[in-house]
Amino acid sequence: MKCIYCGCEESRVVDSRSADDGNSIRRRRECEKCGRRFTTYEKADVIPLMVIKKDERREPFDSEKLRQGILKACQKRPVSITDIDALTHRIEMQAYSTDQEITSAQIGEMVMDGLKQLDDVSYVRFASVYRQFKDVESFIDELNKLLGSREQSPV
């Protein structure tokens, strides 16, 4: 590893420890030439997950875009940021466990399933945008499905 101070390519590791919830390793290094210390992070190289959009375009998976969509659905609702981040992380892990490609429809269904468990109003908000209801009847059908699943699940 090249020293950030003098550019020497010889350094030794002084300390290593897990960082970022075990997803990376933090290393303290000492330059063999100038003796100054610096920190490096080592992270596994991940093959990018590609999202196949409705129009067949492909773009890299963006967990922040996913999080923003969930945040928008949960706006002014009693859903904590912790719950939103947990849902985002759960969906991200599910998406990465598939192949190297996933459809936006699959991601949308994962979000709908997660929001249904978190908050009914957030679920309906997301569904209204995601499903692009054409008329009031299709919107009412979705609400009836939600009410039906609520009645079937024990409280």
Q: What are the 10-residue block averages of pLDDT along the chain, 155 residues in total?
A: 94 92 90 96 85 94 95 95 95 89 94 92 85 73 74 60
Helix (H) or strand (E) holding 130: helix 120-130
Give the pLDDT of residue 82: 94
DSSP 8-state secondary structure symbol assigned to residue 32: T
Residue 114 pLDDT:
95
What is the model's pTM?
A: 0.63
Amino acid 79: pLDDT: 95
pLDDT of 5: 96
- Model pLDDT, residue 152: 65
Q: Using CA atoms, how far apart are residues 8 and 123, in angstroms rounded to an integer? A: 55
Reduce the DSSP state of residue 36 to 3 states and report it: coil
pLDDT, residue 153, reads 60
Instruction: Tell me what pLDDT residue 43 has.
Output: 85
* pLDDT score recorded for residue 44: 81
Cα–Cα dist 22/38, whole Å: 20
Q: Which residue has the tokens 């990376």?
A: 24
Spatial separation of the C-alpha atoms in residues 127 and 73, rounded to whole Å? 9
